[in-house]
Structure 1
Amino acid sequence: MSEQSKYAIVVGVDGSPSSQDALRWAVRQAHRTDGNITAVMAWDTPALYDWPLPTAEQLDRATDETLRKIVHDTVDEADLARIRTQVARGHPAKALLHAAESADLLVVGRRGQGSFSHALLGSISQYCVSHAPCPVVVVRDHRP
Structure 2
Amino acid sequence: MPDQMYQRVEVDGGVVVGVDASSSSLHALESAAEEAKRRGTALHVVCAWSIRTAPRPPDCPPNAVPSMEAFQHEVEKGAERLIARRLGPDPGIDIKVHAVHSPSPQALLSASRGADLLVVGHRGRGGFSGLMLGSVAEQCVRHAACPVLVVRPAV
TM category (shorter chain) comes to 0.7 to 0.9
Q: Distance in 1 between matches of 2:17 and 2:110?
A: 12
Q: Which residue of structure 2 lines up, in the alignment, with residue 136 of structure 1?
A: 148
From the superposition, tell whether residues 92 and 41 of structure 1 become closer, same or farther in structure 2 (CA, over 3 Å). same
CA RMSD between the two structures: 2.5
CA drift at 1:131: 0.6
In the other structure, the counterpart of 2:25 is: 19
Change (3 A) 1:78 1:124: same
Q: How far did residue 25 of structure 1 move?
A: 0.4
Q: What CA distance in whole angstroms lies between the structure 1 residues aligned with 2:24 and 2:91?
A: 19
1:17 is displaced (CA, Å) by 1.1
Q: Which runs of 5+ in 2 are unaligned?
A: 1-10, 54-62
Give the percent of matched residue pairs that are identical in Structure 1 and Structure 2.
36
Q: TM-score, normalised by structure 1?
A: 0.80
Residue of structure 2 equivalent to 1:87 = 99
Partners of 1:80 and 1:53 lie apart in 2 by 38
Name 1:35's counterpart in structure 2.
41
CA deviation after TM superposition for structure 1 residue 53, in Å: 4.2
TM-score, length-scaled by structure 2: 0.75
1:1-144 pair list within 5 angstroms: 8-46=14-52, 53-79=65-91, 81-114=93-126, 123-142=135-154
C-alpha distance in 1, partners of 2:128/2:36?
35
Letter in 2 for 1:76: G
Unaligned stretches of 5+ residues in structure 1: none
Compute the displacement of 1:98 (Å).
Answer: 1.0
Task: Name the aligned partner's letter for residue 31 of structure 1.
Answer: K
The CA deviation at 1:77 is 2.7
- Equivalenced residue count is 132
When you count helix as a share of all residues, which structure comes out higher?
1
